[in-house]
Amino acid sequence: MFQKDALYSKLIKAEAQKLGFMFCGISKAGFLEEEASRLETWLKKGFHGEMAYMENHFDKRLDPRKLVDGAKSVISFALNYYTDQKQLDPEAPKISKYAYGDDYHLVIKDKLKQLIQIINEKIGEVNGRAFVDSAPVLDKVWAQKAGFGWIGKNTNLINKKVGSFFFLAELITDLELEYDIAPTEDHCGTCTRCIDACPTEAIVAPYAVDGSRCISYLTIELKNELPSEFIGKTDNWMFGCDICQDVCPWNKFSVLHHEPAFQPHTELLGMTKNDWEEITEDVFKKIFKNSAVKRTKYSGLKRNIQFLKNS
């Protein structure tokens, strides 16, 4: 039995590598006892802002067996998105690196569908579901359990060899596998660069982020007008924010991604400050046709750009 578990695990990791994933690790599906009180405290403090969905399915967030019947394994994946390409106009409103190319939800979902097909062909019919930011799954906790790295003071998952510019996803399945037992030591030490650099003071304490103050939340999740207290504090970001990752010393080890779908749209990086301020809905649809930026919609992006003009 155990030989079979190990064989299946090896096969899945090999296929994940072929599909372009940077890491693949496996954990035993079970209740996340330590996270229950942390999540409850975070919600009680209102750090989720207007993200009401974070309050839903509390029990499912803590136990993957409630998401997939008979779940035995959580297979975690990491897909690199780091690029050294930048917007050419230093005065242009900024967009997070992760949104330069195609929507990662679609890219990763496609890869995981392929992997499920391979598992069904080579191992047999299994019950499993893929998750890419689309359900109540605590991605970073499972990735940490799988040995990808540690959760840093900015609450991002950090890997000692490649930093933190990667997406996380899971495949929760009823397949019994060999589990990675690789708890990772925290290597943040006394460093507080992410805390010191955050212009909205969203990192309220080491390992604690007030999501309602985070620039990514303000420019993407917040549906109402941006609060006036943040005028002049969003550092020219119009979609997302990379500050706490850019200043992290571990990201000097980031490696360039090799995912064609994450290549920036040909016009994106060349747009000037003026181009962004005068962007039409047609141009928005053309540039962000398959992009995660569609989440904020044209009206949301225009709101963000106008907010920056007023700052």
Q: Quote the radius of gyration of the chain (alpha carbons, Å).
A: 20
- Using one digit for the tens of pLDDT, what is the confidence trace for 151-173? 999 999 999 999 999 999 999 99
- Which residue numbers in the chain have pLDDT < 50? 1
Name the residue type at position 28: K
What is the model's pLDDT at position 1? Answer: 45
Can 103 be counted among the known catalytic residues? no
pLDDT at 2: 56
pTM, whole model, 2 decimals?
Answer: 0.93
Give the model's pLDDT for residue 136: 74
Alpha carbon distances (Å) from 228 to 96, 222, 233, 305, 310: 22, 13, 10, 14, 10
Mean pLDDT across the chain: 92
Task: Kindly tell me the sign of the dihedral angle through the C-alpha atoms of 215, 219, 224, 230.
Answer: positive
Find how far residue 37's CA is from the centre of its chain.
22
Out of 5, 89, 110, 133, the active site residue is: 133
d(CA 270, CA 290): 18
- In order, the DSSP letters of 132-150 are SSSSS--HHHHHHHTTS-E
Instruction: Give the CA count within 13 Å in the CB-facing half-sphere of 138.
Output: 26
What letter would DSSP give residue 265?
P
What residue ranges do the domains of the chain occupy? 2-173, 193-254+264-310
Which fold would CATH assign to domain 2-173?
A: NADH Oxidase (3.40.109)
Confidence (pLDDT) at 62: 86
